[in-house]
């Protein structure tokens, strides 16, 4: 399995700093979710027409991949479905140019469950998958919002006929919002999972809020999940999503990224 970190965890770092950290800490890949003040990856200067070839060559020469372009394209609301589809297309075009396999798609913008229009979402996601098919890109729908309930997400995926469909399993959301066990989630969506977002957390009963912790310092069943996916042949990306861009008080990325790669290498070695 390959280890990656999302740039959402280091919003103040430049590309050179991100690149150096990935090399120094021994990562396999970087997940792109904005840099600095620019969250929209297609607008990043390193991916401009004049810079994309040297950017990708620099990564390849160092043995690094881009594991995914993480869009904020939302497909669950008909009033903004066209905007979400355009964003998805922009990200798919960028992924195609840079030979990146995955683009993240959302049913709704919040981790919590919002009411969405599933029929509209089926149509929009199918159109996105069709657009991506001939570009060698797989749009992954994440376990967030109503799709954190894995049974509901499985029902949605069964309605999609495209071969390049897939699921991004954010391990926090089904557990925290729907009290699912690792086995329950995997039984429902395991056959669709092509990428994992790894994080750890605890639920604070006093504040009634989820508090994110460094991996291994919360109580999410990370070891159980790794064993489940390993036993079922998963050999893809385990990407750390440390949401410091949205929660500035979280620990600094240099500490967290280093701890993550060492801890996960240990867990993988114990499988």
CATH of the domain at 169: 3.20.20.150
Give the per-residue pLDDT at 112: 72
How many independent structural domains does the chain possess?
1
Question: Can you tell me the distance from the alpha carbon of 42 to that of 103, in angstroms, rounded to the nearest whole number?
Answer: 12
The average confidence (pLDDT) of the chain is 95
DSSP code per residue over 81-130: HHHHHHHHHHHHHHHHHHT--EEEEESSSSSS-----HHHHHHHHHHHHH
Sign of CA dihedral 185, 197, 127, 147: positive
Of the candidates 215, 213, 205, the one whose C-alpha atom is nearest the C-alpha of residue 262 is: 215
Mean pLDDT of 64-72: 97
Per-residue pLDDT reduced to its tens digit, 100-149 = 999 999 999 877 767 899 999 999 999 999 999 999 999 999 999 999 99
Query: Element (H or E) spanning 20, and its range?
Result: helix 15-25
Tokens linked to 234: 């998963």
Q: Is the pLDDT of residue 208 over 90?
A: no
Give the per-residue pLDDT at 113: 66
Pairing of strands 166-170, 138-142: parallel
Name the least confident of 175-189, 201-215, 225-239, 253-267: 201-215
Residue 260: domain span: 2-269
Angle between helices 150-158 and 118-133 (to 10 degrees): 60
Indicate whether this model's pTM tops 0.85.
Answer: yes
């Amino acid at each position: 399995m390959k280890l990656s970190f999302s740039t959402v965890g280091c919003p103040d770092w430049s590309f050179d700093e991100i690149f150096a950290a990935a090399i120094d800490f021994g990562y396999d890949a970087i997940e792109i979710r904005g840099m600095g003040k620019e969250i929209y990856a297609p607008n990043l200067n390193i991916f401009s027409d004049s810079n994309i070839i040297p950017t990708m060559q620099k990564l390849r020469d160092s043995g690094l991949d881009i594991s995914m372009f993480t869009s904020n394209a939302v497909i669950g609301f008909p009033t903004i479905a066209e905007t979400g589809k355009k964003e998805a297309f922009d990200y798919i075009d960028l992924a195609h140019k840079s030979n990146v396999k995955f683009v993240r798609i959302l049913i709704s913008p919040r981790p919590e469950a919002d009411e969405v229009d599933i029929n509209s979402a089926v149509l929009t996601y199918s159109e996105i998958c069709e657009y991506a098919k001939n570009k060698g890109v797989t749009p992954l729908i994440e376990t967030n919002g109503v799709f954190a309930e894995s049974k509901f997400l499985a029902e949605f995926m069964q309605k999609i006929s495209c071969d390049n469909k897939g699921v991004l399993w954010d391990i926090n959301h089904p557990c925290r919002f729907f009290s699912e066990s690792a086995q329950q989630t995997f039984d429902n969506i395991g056959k669709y999972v092509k990428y994992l977002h790894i994080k750890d957390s605890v639920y604070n009963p006093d504040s009634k809020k989820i508090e994110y912790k460094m991996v291994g310092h919360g109580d999410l069943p990370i070891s159980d999940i790794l064993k489940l996916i390993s036993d079922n042949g998963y050999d893809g990306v385990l990407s750390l999503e440390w949401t410091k861009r949205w929660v500035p008080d979280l620990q600094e990325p240099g500490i967290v990224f280093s701890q993550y790669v060492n801890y996960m290498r240990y867990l993988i070695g114990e499988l």
